[in-house]
Amino acid sequence: MTTSTPSKQLPHLVFGGELTDIHGTDFKDLSKIDIVGIFPDYASAAAAWKAKSQQTVDNAMMRYFVVHLHRLLDPETGKAHGE
């Protein structure tokens, strides 16, 4: 019987909203941010980002982003402080 090591968690956040400027990253209304969710890896986050982006393609001011949460926890090790 073989055992596999669970893959390392690399959480990613997908969120978006309407921007004030098509070339910027400032949101028109922060209270209306659409938090799509937190995903266990980049591939699933990218799929969610693509789906939401395609739903809002008619609004040029609407943008969705993928944030690499694992890099924010600790840029050197990817671990949360205190672990």
Give tens-digit pLDDT for 3-33.
555 567 899 999 999 999 999 999 999 999 9
| End-to-end Cα spacing for the chain | 32
Q: Is residue 12 part of a domain?
A: no
- The count of domains in the chain is 1
Phi, psi angles (nearest 5°) of residue 33:
-60, 135
- Supply the pTM of this predicted model: 0.78
The rounded distance, in Å, linking the Cα atoms of 57 and 40 is 26
Q: Is residue 7 part of a domain?
A: no
- Of residues 83 and 25, more confidence is placed in 25
Residue 64 is part of which domain span? 17-25+43-83
Percent of the chain whose predicted confidence (pLDDT) is above 70: 80
Q: Is residue 67 part of a domain?
A: yes
